[in-house]
Amino acid sequence: MRFDWRRRIALVTGLTLCGVVAAQAQENVAAAEEEKPYHITDDGTVDWPTFSGFRRYNSVCHTCHGPDGVGSTFAPALTESLKRLSYEQFFEIVVNGKQEVNTAVQKKMPAFGLDPNVMCYLDDIYAYLKARSDGAVGRGRPEKHADKPPEAAEAENACMGG
């Protein structure tokens, strides 16, 4: 289930600001728990979205959160965070950012809501990190992955603007 990411920002921002659709959010959480966002066959081949998520994560997110989601000296290990965060919470933090700056800590996650390199692949990144967090995918590059389906290429072009 994929929406246009710009519409989804509006949805999530709405959730954050008003909290009026809490019931719907809970429904989504439940759905996310039922259905794993990644698919790995018996021979270890990961589906395209999970592989795509690996690439995009290790291009943008890893500069703070470390290679393969293992964390760094200054940003948390997402392999751990994804054990706690719901899809909606993950989405909200990526879109709007997060800040903890005081005398002891200088932590600041930027808002990626306007970055197509993140937003066009947010579900992919989530799938990859969830797979890492569940232990379904190990460190490094997945050895085998499914080919890029034509609809993924199409969606990518549409989202990234050509």
Partner 1 sequence: MARLKPASGYVLAVAGAISLWGAQAMANDELLKLQEDPKQWVMPLGDYSSTRYSELAKINRDNVDDLQVAWTFSTGVLRGHEGGPLVIGNMMYVHAPFPNTVFALDLSKDGQIVWKYEPQQDPNVIPVMCCDTVNRGVAYGDGKIFLHQADTKLVALDAKTGKEVWSVTDGDATKGETGTSAPLVVKDKVLIGNSGGEFGVLGKVTAYNMKDGSIAWRGFSAGPDDQMLIDPEKTTALGQPVGKDSSLKTWEGDQWKIGGGTTWGWMSYDPELNLVYYGTGNPSTWNPVQRPGDNKWSMTIFARDADTGMAKWVYQMTPHDEWDYDGVNEMILVDKEMNGQQRKLLVHFDRNGFGYTLDRDTGELLVAEKYDPTVNWATKVDIKTGLPERVKEYSTEANGEDVNSKGICPAALGSKDQQPAAYSPKTGLFYVPTNHVCMDYEPFKVAYTAGQPYVGATLSMYPPEGDSHLGNFIAWDATTGQIKWSLPEPFSVWSGALATAGDVVFYGTLEGYLKAVDAETGKELYKFKTPSGIIGNVNTYEYNGKQYIAVLSGVGGWAGIGMAAGLTEDTAGLGAVGAYKALSSYTALGGTMTVFTLPE
The CB-of-32 to partner 1 minimum distance in angstroms stands at 25
Half-sphere exposure of 115 (CA within 13 A, CB side): 15
Interface pick for partner 1 out of 5, 38, 48, 54 (rule CB under 8 A): 54
DSSP 89: H
C-alpha distances out from residue 6 to 63, 139, 159, Å: 25, 31, 10
Least Cα distance to 69 among 56, 152, 5, 43 occurs for 56
| Cβ-based nearer residue to partner 1, 15 or 125 | 125
Under the criterion CB under 8 A, does residue 74 sit at the interface with partner 1? yes
Any residues with CB less than 8 A from the CB of 118 and at least 6 apart, and which?
56, 60, 61, 94, 112, 125
Segment interacting with partner 1, rule: CB under 8 A, options 2-10, 31-39, 87-95, 153-161:
153-161
Q: Which residue has the tokens 């393969």?
A: 68
Segment interacting with partner 1, rule: CB under 8 A, options 10-18, 26-34, 72-80, 84-92:
72-80
Interface pick for partner 1 out of 20, 30, 158, 160 (rule CB under 8 A): 160
> Residue count at the site for partner 1 (CB under 8 A)?
43
Under the criterion CB under 8 A, does residue 116 sit at the interface with partner 1? yes
| Cβ-based nearer residue to partner 1, 27 or 143 | 143
Q: Which residue has the tokens 């919470």?
A: 89
DSSP 140: S
Query: Rule CB under 8 A: which residues touch partner 1?
Result: 54-60, 62-64, 66-67, 70-74, 77, 97, 99, 101, 103-110, 112, 114-118, 138-141, 148, 156, 160-161
